[in-house]
Amino acid sequence: MEPGALQQFALAFPALLFSLVAHEVAHAWVALKQGDTTARDLGRITLNPAKHIDPVMTVLVPALLFISSGGRVWFGGAKPVPVQPRNYRNYKRGDILVSLAGVATNFVLAFVFAGLALLVGLAVRGAGGAAGATAGADWLSTLFDMVRIGIYVNLGLCAFNLLPIPPLDGSHVFKYLLPPAWAQQYVALGRMGFVVLLVMLWVGRPLISAWMTPAYALGAWLERAVLMTVMGG
């Protein structure tokens, strides 16, 4: 474990938890709009983390992977929102929209976190220049690190969930590009999809890294834009 990995995880976890919850809420809300009330009836259209946390996938797996990799590997999830696609007014359209709702939410949240980082960064600069404001500046600096990391968390979740590996969200779009017979076998992989994902995270890390590179490049651009504005404003 690299020095500071545990501290980095402590800073990242609040943003990760909120972003995972928002991802699932988006699935549930769009499913409702497409005609399926299953998630709503089970109380899943809520930002209350207790409704979405899975002790293993939301806490244990992210912590072990993040810390053991020195912060290089991100993977986690909340309890999947239960949906009944047969209730969608249009099966294919509903399946695609519900599946992409989560990644779209994470993409938007990346920019929301960038905006928060800008506001907090300006507050840090102001507090740092005020006499006797050291404690306040330190607290704001910690908050700045948390929201800054939130940019990368959300872009990472967005890109990762777009991987065309069942049962990730990207597979619900990719399957419609395949011939029906192939699509059926492809969807069947979902029964062991998370095993495949875990193997790829360790064995196929270069492929995963290549897939994630554009997302983290965008994150770096947003972070630079925030820092340049804070320092030069």
Residues annotated as catalytic are 24
Distance (Å, whole) CA 143 – CA 134: 14
Residues 6+ apart with CB under 8 A from 93: 34
Q: Answer whether 220's CB lies under 8 Å from 155's CB.
A: no
**Among 82, 69, 103, which residue's Cα sits nearest to residue 1?**
69
- How distant is the alpha carbon of residue 143 from its chain centre? 19
> Residue 144: what residue type?
F
DSSP secondary structure letter of residue 213: H
Q: How far is CA 98 from CA 39, 53, 82, 138, in A?
A: 12, 20, 11, 41
**Among 47, 20, 43, which residue's Cα sits nearest to residue 32?**
43
